[in-house]
Chain A
Amino acid sequence: MNALLQWTTYVLIGYFVVLNGGYVFMSIITFWGVVRYRYVLDAYNPEEALASESLPSITLIAPTYNEESTCVASIRAFLNVDYPNFEVLVVNDGSTDATLERLRNTFKLQPTSRPPTSDLPTESIRQVYRSRTHPDLWVIDKENGGKADALNAGVNFCETSFFCAMDADTIVEREGLIRIVRPFLENTSTVAVGGIIRVANGCTIQSGRVQNVSMPQRLLSKLQVVEYLRAFFFGRLGWDTLGAMVIISGAFGMFRRETVVEVGGYETDSVTEDLELVLRMHRWLRERGEEYRVRFIPDPVAWTEVPSTLSGLGSQRDRWHRGMVDSMIRHQRMLLNPRYGRVGLLAYPFFYFLETFGVILEFLGYAWFVVALATGTLSAPIALAFFLVAFALGMALSLSAVAMEELSFHRYQKTSDLLQLLLLSILDNFGYRQLNAWWRIKGLWSYLRSKEEWGTIERTGFNTSNA
């Protein structure tokens, strides 16, 4: 029994050291990346870029399902993006509510046809519509097939070199499109670019724009603000700096259409089709030895409403983790495989061992502490000291993310909001992180039991959600 506990200890401590060592390493890289990016942004003027004589046409693909209360406001927001030539393809994924009706009435949709440009398999298309008031707005009505299926349908009708995959309720900032297209212009080998997602809860949204940035009211939403800052600064910017970006959020990402079609489009079997697609693109392009880039840049911003209830958030995280496990296993061949360069040797192991399966160890760690304390094999002072280090580390990492946000974009102008962020960085280790670990374990368990339903999140309507 002692030997078992001994080994368990080594493994858990080893995991802890590697995980947090990894985070520390990433935060140093990220810090350097943030400082450097400030200079990059200083030399860039979106107005100047927009005054260019010719910019590539872009298609915005927005799958929508049962969004009758918010679809009109969301689509309006898409139409107001500041870019000279773009199309909006709304894919109505067989909504059972009044979504299509609302769109039809507001935008004066007229049934028409449009030849598809690719053959990604999807559920059947019922009808293609075009707006009479906004000729750049098209609605594709199809049988329900899920988000990935809807995205594929959009890609099938996309005629431009690049498309932007969005969630229907994402609000892209006015400059979002011109900013996210920049890496494609500066380097023709770019195949995918992700932007930053920020939490819209609590912000004042008017005329399809975020007018006032503010922290949300509900504690759960507030905690997610800190979490998103951590995720995007370490998870994305850090990996971009290392040249091994593997996640582009489905809420806001731009892709080269040709490459997406070549790799076969989005995987309809996956609940995190965004992650799965990017992994597959890495794999495909590396296997063919093609030069390519996947980037994350923090200046194009999209705002999205996050779940504000425990059940909503729990089911979202359960689903995300289920999808992550699935994607990680699907492309396991990249793990520690030098053929896949930095993605295989750095990013994949990090996500595979630490983010995905490491949650087992994390959970075991909590369980072990309880057991060890209870059976007396671990003295209380040591346990406390250990917890102290663990929390101090988590706190330091969260606070460094907040510091980086202040250094770079400082979107939260109110001092009270910043103080909240600082306080939450301390608190999020006492419960929120553990809750997340629990949801992730559930996600892993769901994967193993292969549940296939979608979770639901309550819609509180779009303008000024004070959740």
Chain B
Amino acid sequence: MRPNLSSPFEVFSPASDLIATLILGSGALMLLSVCFAAFALGSHVWSRYQTRVWKRQKEDWDAQIVTVLAGDLRPQTLTDTVPKKYYGSFLEALMPYATVVDGAEKQIIQALAAPFLPRVKANLSSRRSLVRARAVQRLGLLGGPEQAAALRQMLDDSSPRVVERTVHSLARVGGAADAERLLDCLPRLAHVDPRHLSSSLVHLGEAAAPTMRAAMADDERPPFVRICCAETLRELRDTASVAAAAWLLEDAKFRDMLQFPKVTASLLRLLKHLGKGVHGPLIRAYCHAPASFVRLHAARALGQLGTPEDEVLLGALVYGDESRWVALGAARSLIEIGSITPLRKLRTLDHPRAALASDLLLSFDQ
């Protein structure tokens, strides 16, 4: 039997209790609101104060850094004036210059940062991965070779984010001798874009190339590592790696290479940039690989290394390859080797790729 209620709210509790709860609730929320507002205001006042105080200081430091870089002031003279507790801000003032200068000036920046880096190093043992990551980043940007030892230890960190940052930092600060260890860490970073890693590994320099070449050729290594090596060697413009790449692609283990299509693609890219005409025949075989991106890279490589003899092969790709990207790549390569006839012919036919030929030829003719 349902009780006869005079108000829906009575099902909960007597009206006055309800009002009390509601008022209490809103009171608590108002208090919370006041806290948020106070926090916002406090935060605002604090950051404005910081900006005002630091603006002049940073301009001052800026001018002095430029003077030190010019050689008119000894680094130590400047660093002696920086109170130890402001090391963070001083390092932040140095960072823009660290990314602008190269060579001898870079070493001056490192000399300016050096007295404060021990504090940064202390953060390497923080419990929080983001704090460790920040320390690693600072050391990589502002540190010299003497920081390499500390960074090497971070390669075994539990957080992949820290390991990734360490790879970037150690590649800059360390030397060719670190290449092996860095490559050993790469499998943990297989989620990262290989070219993002290789653009840092390049800083290891030509001296690291032998290690990279060996790893690239080693089929015991995970494909990801081999790809990173191939990309790094390409960016290093290491011509000696061409022989290794060619050997891999040519070796009777042709079928094996196709098991690692991404590695194959990277090798083809390497050949495209650094190879010579003699590698043309080798590349041709890969124009029929099952993976479309392998065919694409092979076709593009022929644009650089092919001869007019490759006209038929490339033409066939333009006409008949199921992938439009491969067709496009092959068509561009035809233009690059100077064999436009297949495209001119295609343009006149009633063929799905006629428009592609026509589009490319138009900009070529212009």
Contact = CB atoms under 8 A, between A and B. Distances in A.
Interface of A: 2, 5-6, 9-10, 36, 39-40, 42-45, 47-48, 50-56, 110, 112-119, 184-189, 377-379, 381-382, 385-386, 388-389, 391-393, 395-396, 399-400, 402-403, 405-407, 410, 413, 415, 418, 421-422, 425-426
A393 B325 CA distance: 55
A418 B44 contact: yes
A399 B39 CA distance: 10
Interface string B7-47: 11101000100110011011001101100110111011101
Given A45-B99, A407-B43, A389 B22 contact: yes
Interface of A is mostly: helix
Contacts of B358: 113
A39 B22 CA distance: 39
Given A113-B362, A117-B325, A392-B26, 13 more contacts: A6-B5, A39-B133, A43-B134, A53-B202, A56-B195, A114-B359, A115-B356, A185-B196, A378-B9, A382-B22, A389-B29, A392-B25, A406-B44
30 contacts: A6-B8, A39-B128, A39-B133, A42-B134, A47-B95, A52-B200, A54-B199, A54-B235, A56-B195, A110-B366, A113-B358, A114-B359, A116-B359, A117-B324, A119-B324, A186-B193, A186-B196, A377-B7, A379-B15, A381-B15, A385-B19, A402-B40, A403-B36, A406-B44, A410-B43, A410-B44, A421-B40, A422-B37, A425-B37, A426-B33
B182 interface: no
A187 to B, nearest CB: 5
Given A43-B133, A56-B195, A395 B29 contact: yes
A114 B41 CA distance: 54
Interface string B61-74: 00000000000000
B137 A112 contact: no
Contact of A406 (B15, B43, B130, B199): B43
A392 B19 contact: no
A392 B30 contact: yes
A43 B137 CA distance: 6
Contacts of B25: 389, 392
Interface in B299-344: 324-325, 328, 331
Nearest to B23: A385
A43 B366 CA distance: 48
A186 B26 contact: no
A93 B278 CA distance: 49
B36 A399 contact: yes
Contact of A188 (B45, B95, B191, B328): B191
A45 B7 CA distance: 62
Interface string B165-209: 100000000000000000000000001110110111010000000
B5 A113 contact: no
Nearest to B133: A43
A426 B128 CA distance: 37
Contacts of B133: 39, 43
Given A44-B137, A53-B202, A422-B37, A396 B32 contact: yes
B103 interface: no
A52 B8 CA distance: 67
B131 interface: yes
B340 to A, nearest CB: 15
A48 B98 CA distance: 9
Contacts of A48: 95, 98-99, 137, 141
B22 A51 contact: no
B26 A388 contact: yes
Contacts of A400: 36
Contacts of B200: 52
B48 interface: yes
B217 interface: no
Contacts of A379: 7, 15
A55 B45 CA distance: 39
A9 B9 contact: yes
A409 to B, nearest CB: 10
Contact of B26 (A117, A389, A413): A389
Interface of B: 5, 7-9, 11, 15, 18-19, 22-23, 25-26, 29-30, 32-33, 36-37, 39-41, 43-45, 47-48, 51, 95-96, 98-99, 128, 130-131, 133-134, 136-137, 141, 164-165, 191-193, 195-196, 198-200, 202, 235, 324-325, 328, 331, 355-356, 358-360, 362-363, 366
A115 to B, nearest CB: 4
A156 to B, nearest CB: 11
A396 B137 CA distance: 37
A422 B328 contact: no
A400 B8 CA distance: 33
Contact of A403 (B39, B136, B331): B39
Contacts of B141: 45, 48
A53 B37 contact: no
A188 B355 CA distance: 33
Nearest to A48: B99
Contact of A396 (B29, B134, B324, B331): B29
B9 A382 contact: yes
Find the residue from B9, B40, B134, B331 having the highest chain A CB count within 10 A. B40
A421 B362 CA distance: 56
B171 to A, nearest CB: 11
A184 B99 contact: no
Contacts of A386: 22
A27 to B, nearest CB: 10
B96 A47 contact: yes
B130 A40 contact: yes
B95 A2 contact: no
A295 to B, nearest CB: 14
Residue in B5, B130, B137 with the greatest tally of chain A CB atoms within 10 Å: B130
B199 A52 contact: yes
A422 to B, nearest CB: 5
The 3 closest A-B pairs by CB, nearest first: A392-B29, A39-B130, A385-B22
Nearest to B325: A117
A169 B239 CA distance: 47
B44 A415 contact: yes
Nearest to A20: B29
A45 B95 contact: yes
B131 A39 contact: yes
A462 B102 CA distance: 40
Contacts of A9: 8-9
Contact of B41 (A47, A186, A418): A418
Most A C-beta atoms less than 10 A away, residue of B39, B51, B136, B202: B39
Given A47-B99, A117-B324, A385-B26, A410 B47 contact: yes
A354 B209 CA distance: 58
Contacts of A385: 18-19, 22-23, 26
Nearest to A377: B7
